[in-house]
Structure 1
């Protein structure tokens, strides 16, 4: 199992580590990592591995078996040996845009309080799909509400509950197609706000900003019809 340092501090840009294994496909497994692996609609991180006498570009991080994070090289040559100590360096600009987008999508699910049928996070454009039979009557009003929530500068924090506690609060799960991973005993929640001033609380394993004002101004773009009752709402960061 790889220790997930991004859950302890999403702002870590680099860390050391030791190679514990190679996959048959040429991936690299380390004992701990700052690289977020593709999951929950958030893309895997990319960056570099650097060690004495070598370096390699990492194209993407993916989930592997038994809780491992697999770092996929851009070119499968010159892999660090098992047991090699190295430094992991994120493409921070890309990761930070993902963090801003991810938190913005949580707030979008507050502005549009409908069941979420899908979603995807990107550095340039992100989206949520909703169980939405009819298009929003006033997209500009939704846009204004979303940005007002961002400007409230809510604290974003994480906490854990048991699977039994989650079962007792089923409305915490907003996604229809994806359920929080089970089996570990505890489920990670992301809270936007504090106490009675909580704007959103839902299961999430992704990375987020510490304060919503870091998101910056967001623009709701095209609302696309995706099936009889599904509509896709796209957002972009304006800076």
Structure 2
């Protein structure tokens, strides 16, 4: 297992670790700050350095074992030997944009009432697909609500429940196409707003900002029909549409 440092502190941009295994399929470390592709959020990129060597991490993916993370090096890069002490450095600007966007999609779940059927996070644009049989929502109204929630500077935190507690609370699941990250015995919940009365609480293993104000102003890039009842809402940062 890899200790997932980003679960407790998504703001760690650097860290030290030890190589557990190194193959062309990826480097496995005893601990990491790199988020692996999952839940619609892309894997992190960055750099790994060790005595006498350095390589770019081109992608981060989940391994076969639970909580095993594989750091995919750029093609042709040298591999550090198992047992090597390494230094990790994220492409922080890219990661932070993913954090802002991921949290913004949670706000979109608040602003639009409907089951989420899919989604994807990007550094520039992100989307959620909603099951909305009555038609697409009003773009101006959704934009206004998103930015109201951003301006409200709501705190964001996490908590944990057991797999059994998660199974007893299906109402917490908003995304129909993505199963909650169960299997390790506990599930991480992301909370927006007052801890005693959050405005949003759902299972999520991704990285998020600490306060909605950190997201910045948002804009609706487009709303598309993707089927009889499926509506795709694409958001971006205001001024970047």
Which range, TM-score by smaller chain? over 0.9
Q: How many angstroms does 1:237 deviate by?
A: 1.1
Change (3 A) 1:231 1:186: same
Runs (4 or more) in structure 1 with deviation over 4 Å come to: none
TM-score between the two structures when normalised by the length of structure 1: 0.96
Could you say which residue in structure 1 is the equivalent of 2:76?
76
For 1:76 and 1:7, the matched residues in 2 are separated by: 31
Q: How many angstroms does 1:137 deviate by?
A: 4.7
Q: How many angstroms does 1:196 deviate by?
A: 4.7
Q: How many angstroms does 1:132 deviate by?
A: 1.5
Q: How many angstroms does 1:30 deviate by?
A: 0.7
Q: How many angstroms does 1:182 deviate by?
A: 2.1
Query: Residue deviations 1:106-136, cap 9 Å, x none?
Result: 0100110210000000000000011112433
Count, aligned residues = 238
What aligned pairs does 1:163-178 form with structure 2 within 5 A after superposition? 163-178=163-178
Q: How many angstroms does 1:185 deviate by?
A: 1.6
For 1:237 and 1:215, the matched residues in 2 are separated by: 8
Aligned residues: CA RMSD: 1.3
For 2:219 and 2:137, the matched residues in 1 are separated by: 17
For 2:122 and 2:146, the matched residues in 1 are separated by: 18
TM-score between the two structures when normalised by the length of structure 2: 0.95
Unaligned runs of 5+ in 2: none
Checking the alignment, whether the CA contact within 8 Å between 1:26 and 1:76 is kept in structure 2 is: no
Q: How many angstroms does 1:169 deviate by?
A: 2.1
SS of the residue 1:198 aligns to = coil
For 1:197 and 1:179, the matched residues in 2 are separated by: 24
SS of the residue 1:10 aligns to = coil
Could you say which residue in structure 1 is the equivalent of 2:190?
190
Unaligned runs of 5+ in 1: none
For 1:233 and 1:44, the matched residues in 2 are separated by: 22
Checking the alignment, whether the CA contact within 8 Å between 2:50 and 2:85 is kept in structure 1 is: yes
